[in-house]
Amino acid sequence: MATETISPVLINQRPFDSKSSIISSHHSTFITKNPNDSTIVAVDNIEIPTVDYAVLFSDDLDKRSKALEHIDKVCEDFGFFYLVNHGVSDSMFEGVFKGISEFFNPTEIEDRKQYEKKHPTDRIRWGLRSSPGENREYLKVIAHPKYHCPTKPAGFSEAMEEYFKRLRVIVHGLGKAVSKAMGFEECYIEKAFKLDSGFDMSAMNLYPPNFRSKGSIGVPNHTDPGFFVSLIQDVNGGLQILSHNGEWINVNMPPNAIFINIGDHLEILTNGKYKSHVHRVVVDNNEVKRISVATLHGPSLDSFVCPAPEFVDEYHPPAYRGMTYKQSLEANGGDEIDVQSSIEQIRIE
C-alpha cells in the first residue's frame, strides 16, 4: 500500500481531517494522505481488558480487593474495558435490538421525521446522516432523570426502559467500585456528580452495510461527555478507539458484553488520572447493518464539575476549568440531547 506521508503528526486526542487516512506505527499515529485508498487502519493485537462485574462485589474479600485493584489499573492505563457478568440477560439484549431494528424499519422513515430537530430542549431526536464524514441513522433519547422514548413500535419503549434501569444500577455500581478503588468512600462519585438526578442521554445508532454507505466513516473522531459511557451492539464491526500510545484499536466485543469507556467528566474530576479516549466508527468492512446503543451517563445538569481537591497538588495543578454539566454540554455549540464534547474548551492549556 503506497502512502504519501505529509508530515508525522501525533494525533494526541485532537480532531483531525477525516478525509485523510491513518497509519499506526508502534508508538505514534501518523496522518497520511493516500488519494487511492481511503481505508482506515487499526490494530487487532492489543487486547482490551475485561472487568468482571460480579467479582467487584464478591463476598470473598481477597477476590474483591484484587478486582478493585484491577479496575483502577484498567481505568488508568487504558480508560476503557469490556464489562462481563453484569446481569443484563440475553433476553433483555434481544428485546433492545428487536425494538431498535423495528423502529428503524426502512419503510417507515416518514414516521421517524417527526423527531427531527425542532428545539434545543428536545427530549427525543432522530437524524439521518449520509455523507463522506458520517454515515448513520440515530435516535437519541433522554433516559434519566425523566425517561423519554417514541411510543411506537409496540414494546420498544418498554424494552429500552427496562434496559436503561438495569444499566443505571450497573453503572452506579461501577462508580462505587471505582470510588473505593481510588481510596475514597463508596459514594464519592455519586456525591460529586449528584447522581440521583444524573443526566443520561442514549444514542441508538444504525450503521448501513458498506455497499450503502457514502464513505468509510460511521461516526467521526470524538470523545463523549459524562462520567462513564456504555455501549452495546448487535454485531462487531467498526468501533475503533485511540489508545494512550496513539494506536487505533479495533473493538471486538465478546457477545453480550458491555463496552465501558471513561467519559470527559471523570477525566475532569480526577484531573486527568483517568482519561476519556477518542473513538470513531468505520463502516468500510460491514457486510451487514450494525446497531449500537451508546449511553452517556452524566452528572446532574446543575453539578459543578472541576478537578477535585484530592487530585490537585503543587505537581498537579488543575488542568480543566470548572463549569456545570449543562454549561459544558453547551460550550461547544451542542445542546442537552445533541451532546458534544467540549473538553478541548475546558482543558487549561
Residues forming contacts to ligand AKG in the complex (CB under 6 A) are 203, 205, 219, 224, 231, 239, 279, 281, 292, 294
Q: Is 224 in the site for Fe ion (CB under 5 A)?
A: yes
**Min dist. Cβ of residue 4 to Fe ion (A):** 30
Please say which residue, 88 or 177, places its beta carbon nearer to ligand AKG: 88
**Min dist. Cβ of residue 100 to Fe ion (A):** 17
> Which residue of this chain has its Cβ atom nearest to ligand AKG in the complex?
292
The secondary structure element, H or E, covering residue 138 is strand 134-144
- Mark the segment that binds Fe ion (CB under 5 A) among 31-39, 216-224, 247-255, 328-336: 216-224
188: helix, strand or coil: helix
Please confirm whether the linkage preceding 309 is cis (ω < 30° from 0).
Answer: no
Please say which residue, 224 or 264, places its beta carbon nearer to ligand AKG: 224
What residue spans of 84-199 are helical by DSSP H? 90-103, 109-112, 156-181, 188-192
Q: Is 264 in the site for Fe ion (CB under 5 A)?
A: no
Residue pair 149/156 in contact by the 8 Å Cβ criterion = yes
Give the chain's length.
349
State the Cα–Cα distance between residues 11 and 278, nearest whole angstrom. 10
**Min dist. Cβ of residue 33 to ligand AKG (A):** 25
C-alpha cell recorded at residue 312: 490537585
Residue pair 246/24 in contact by the 8 Å Cβ criterion = yes
Please say which residue, 72 or 234, places its beta carbon nearer to Fe ion: 234
Please say which residue, 29 or 292, places its beta carbon nearer to ligand AKG: 292
Name the percent of the chain in helix, strand, coil, to the closest 5.
30, 25, 45
Please say which residue, 21 or 292, places its beta carbon nearer to ligand AKG: 292
Answer with the entry of Fe ion, ligand AKG, none that 239 interacts with (C-beta below 5 to 8 A by kind). Answer: ligand AKG
In the complex, which residues of this chain contact Fe ion (CB under 5 A)?
224
